[in-house]
């Protein structure tokens, strides 16, 4: 809190006047960050494009965020178990509203439109979030040339899986 107060050029007392605890400050910072992401992602998926195109736009917006902003989402997922009660609930709710629920709605639309096969939209949204997080790892920077190739890989994996060919049964040979 001393460092934060110093950086903000306020006294520690002034900081505690607005935020009664470190947890309250953390929660407020995370909620503000997640709310700005939510607005950005909602804007990206409001078009009446296909499910794939809407997921592309959302993922593009996410990948274009500065790395520290991308990392905040992972930080929230990591830290949510540190907190209890209302703070934990508010943090989880803010996180879910900012990314997984938006993806879930796009997936629901994709299922209704026949672009995706029947499945649980919530679980599928978590799969998609996991794919995004895997593609954000520094190792993927060595594999993919640019953001577009990362996004296309993520979408291809989500829509068609890792296999492009199936093994034929030996009896069919």
H helices then E strands: how many in the chain?
Answer: 10, 0
46 Cα distance to chain centroid = 17
Question: Which one, of 105, 142, 139, lies nearest residue 125 by Cα?
Answer: 105
- The reported pTM is 0.81
Question: Tens place of pLDDT for every residue, the chain, 173 residues?
Answer: 788 878 888 888 888 888 888 888 888 888 899 999 999 999 989 877 899 999 999 999 999 999 888 888 878 878 778 888 888 888 889 989 999 999 999 999 999 999 999 999 999 999 999 999 888 888 888 999 999 999 999 999 999 987 765 454 444 44
- The topology (CATH level 3) of 24-162 is Tetracycline Repressor; domain 2 (1.10.357)
**Per-residue tokens: 77:** 């997922």
Residue 42 and residue 102 in contact, taking contact as beta carbons nearer than 8 Å? yes
Say which residue the tokens 């178990």 belong to.
81
Domain extents for the chain?
24-162
Question: Does residue 31 sit in helix, strand or coil?
Answer: helix
């Amino acid at each position: 809190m001393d460092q934060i107060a110093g950086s903000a050029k306020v006294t520690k007392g002034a900081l505690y006047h607005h935020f009664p605890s470190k947890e309250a400050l953390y929660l407020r910072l995370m909620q503000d960050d997640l709310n700005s992401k939510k607005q950005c992602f909602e804007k990206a998926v409001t078009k009446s494009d296909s499910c794939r195109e809407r997921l592309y736009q959302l993922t593009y917006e996410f990948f274009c965020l500065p790395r520290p902003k991308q990392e905040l989402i992972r930080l929230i997922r990591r830290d949510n178990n540190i907190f209890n009660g209302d703070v934990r609930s508010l943090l989880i709710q803010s996180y879910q509203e900012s990314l997984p629920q938006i993806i879930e709605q796009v997936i629901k639309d994709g299922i209704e439109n026949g672009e995706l096969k029947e499945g649980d939209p919530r679980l599928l949204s978590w799969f998609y979030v996991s794919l995004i997080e895997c593609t954000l790892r520094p190792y993927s920077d060595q594999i993919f040339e640019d953001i577009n190739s990362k996004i296309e890989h993520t979408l291809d994996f989500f829509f068609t899986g890792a296999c492009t060919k199936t093994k034929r049964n030996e009896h069919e040979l």
